[in-house]
Chain A
Amino acid sequence: MHDEIHRWSDELARDPSSLVFLQLAEALRRQGQLDVALKIALRGVERHAKHVEAHDLLARIAVDQRDFDRACAAWETVLSLQPEHVGAMKGLGYVHFQQRRLTDAEHYLSRAAQAGGGSDVAAALDAVRRSSGGVEVPAVDGVPLSDAHRLFADLLVDEGQTAILLDANGYVLAGLYLDEEGHDVAQEIGAQLSGISEEVVRSTRHLDLGEWRSIVFETGAAVVAMTPATENSLLVVAASRATPLGLLRRLLDRCADRARAWLSGAGR
């Protein structure tokens, strides 16, 4: 990726009107270099004001920076250029939801669902409708649970099953990890597992084992499984020791699908 970024940078320097800025800014966004990605995307949008994907990219970078106003404006431009752009509808649904403008969020997600947005849009729409319906919000350790906390709730059917989604730094993105006393220990687990994904990727490549798929470990009380949900996130699922490993793997796959869909709705 590093070499490609260099190559794209050189190409853009040689020809500032090249559309290679799309790949370059996206790669930088994925690497977390958001300020540089934003500069490149803004310059690209200036030169290619009618290019739908340029505005979409700008919106996604803005979401990563939590600049929801800029993201909103960019996705509205996308819809003005291409009214059936599902990604922009999903993005606007997400941004409005983050800003607690639930009616607007529902409006855009409904449009995305009608335009064939898929199961992740349906799940997001369901979450918005539950939020706007005044459903009582449960709490753990006195902290009210958000939709992110409950992301995997309907998939975890047996007692002792729990799931969390971590970012590359070990911070919790979604889910809960309740210990036997009902306390959420997700942050502590995230801290201990921080960096494992990166290390495994590096080593498995060096050892010619290819891409890693999962790590499973057995403890006295539980079986814990983890898998990369996306390039920069790690899904961790635990179940009681009595859970057959095949069943745990199915649960891991289903939670990973949910996590990917959710992350896709959260700005991709």
Chain B
Amino acid sequence: MTSPFSTVLDVLTRQRGVRASLIVSEQDGLVVDSNLRFGQDGARVAALAASMYRKARLSATAAHLGGVAFLQLDAERGRICAVGGRSDLVIVVVSDASANVGLIRVELLKALESLA
């Protein structure tokens, strides 16, 4: 079954090193749609990404820095990247640590445009 987000998620998941892509509701941390490789825990990724994005947005508001565009978590064995700010929806990618984050960032920002 395809959803309005399938194309966007397919493009993101085709990037080298990308393990999962998701559309997440920032407010409640639930998965709206996802494209996951076998073994990925979409619900946990969604909850973490939404929470990080929300905390980043609230701290940016406290510092009068404006809205949050791109967010990136670096860990030993992987990365989580997220973009949002246009609505309650956050687009999230989980990738290998060695993936090209610059390219992922560009694709995420393009995906955000296409959802607008």
B-binding residues in A (CB < 8 A): 177, 179-180, 185, 188-189, 191-193, 196, 199-200, 203-204, 206-222, 224, 236, 238
Contacts and interface: CB of A to CB of B under 8 A. Distances in A.
Contacts of B55: 192-193, 196
Contacts, number: 112
Given A199-B48, A208-B78, 14 more contacts: A179-B64, A185-B62, A185-B63, A188-B62, A196-B51, A203-B47, A209-B75, A212-B73, A217-B60, A217-B68, A217-B72, A218-B70, A219-B60, A219-B68
B73 to A, nearest CB: 5
Contacts of A220: 65-67, 69
19 contacts: A180-B64, A185-B62, A185-B63, A188-B63, A193-B55, A199-B52, A203-B47, A204-B73, A207-B44, A207-B94, A209-B77, A210-B76, A215-B73, A215-B74, A217-B68, A217-B71, A218-B69, A220-B67, A222-B63
Contacts of B41: 206-207
Nearest to B73: A215
B47 to A, nearest CB: 7
Chain B interface mostly: mixed
B32 to A, nearest CB: 19
Nearest to A177: B63
A94 to B, nearest CB: 30
Contacts of B47: 203
A200 B52 contact: yes
Chain A interface mostly: mixed
A117 B59 CA distance: 37
B111 interface: no
Contact of B76 (A193, A206, A211, A215): A211
Given A203-B44, A207-B45, A216 B62 contact: no
A203 B49 CA distance: 10
Contacts of A210: 75-78
Nearest to A208: B77
